[in-house]
Amino acid sequence: MQGAFAEHVRALEKSGARTRLVRTREDLEGLDGIVLPGGESTTMTMLMERAGLLEPLREAIAGGLATFATCAGMIVLARDVVDGMADQRGLGLLDVAVRRNGYGRQVDSFEAELDVTGLGGKPFPGVFIRSPLVESAGSTEVMARLDGHAVAVRQGRIVALCFHPELTGDLRLHREFVKLAAS
């Protein structure tokens, strides 16, 4: 509906997945996995709500739909948005508390080498653009940290990242998500 979905489509297809865009409740049927991309979290949830997709999506993810969330997608999934707008609704399915734009504004964007659990080999190039800051990771498995803060977490079939793997040429995280969705 909004966000960096085209870049995720390209990365997923290069990783061997078949993709389709989800814009309606009916589009959720038969999916093995879903990506909640970066973008603007408030706009994303408002559009999902208007399309009647927020509750069916919550039910699908709670029911085990493999989910890959990046940046704003993590905010949409979070149980608590510390500095969210008073009327901001999200899915509340990921046991994290996040601060929107916790790493700063657009001009504060940066890249960092991350050691991500399960990827082995070389560090992953994390691209941080107005990224959320995880203030507490609750019962999630922390897969990567930066300056002591979780930047990649997993909770069951949900993987959520503060950064944008779709903006790199490194397909390892997308390939791991394709495997998770197929399992």
- CA distances to 49, 83, 113, 134, 167 from 93, rounded to whole Å, are 16, 18, 28, 15, 25
Whole-model pTM: value is 0.94
71 assigned to active site: yes
Q: Which residue in the list 8, 149, 162, 166 is annotated as catalytic?
A: 166
Strand ordering across the sheet containing 94-99: 78-81, 94-99, 133-136
49: enclosing H helix or E strand: helix 41-50
The C-alpha atoms of residue 3 and residue 9 are separated, in whole angstroms, by: 12
What's the pLDDT score for residue 15?
A: 97
* Low-confidence spans in the chain with pLDDT less than 70: 1-2, 84-88
Query: Considering Cα of 145, then 146, then 150, then 153, what sign does the dihedral take?
Result: negative
What's the pLDDT score for residue 85?
A: 67
Q: Which residue in the list 71, 149, 174, 176 is annotated as catalytic?
A: 71
Query: Considering Cα of 6, then 92, then 33, then 139, what sign does the dihedral take?
Result: positive
164 assigned to active site: yes
Kindly give the pairing relationship between strand 133-136 and strand 94-99.
Answer: antiparallel
Domain that holds residue 97: 5-182
Angle between helices 41-50 and 54-62 (to 10 degrees): 100
Domain count, the chain: 1
Torsion over CA of 35, 67, 155 and 122, rounded to 10 degrees?
A: -50
What's the pLDDT score for residue 106?
A: 84
Vertex 99: Cα angle to 94 and 100 (nearest 5): 100
Vertex 83: Cα angle to 78 and 85 (nearest 5): 90
Closest CA to 114 of 164, 65, 76: 164
DSSP-derived 3-state class of residue 173: helix
* 60: CATH: 3.40.50.880
Closest CA to 180 of 6, 9, 12: 12
What's the pLDDT score for residue 73?
A: 95
Q: Which residue in the list 8, 149, 162, 164 is annotated as catalytic?
A: 164
What's the pLDDT score for residue 83?
A: 80
pLDDT tens-digit readout, 21-61: 998 999 999 999 999 998 888 888 888 999 999 999 999 99
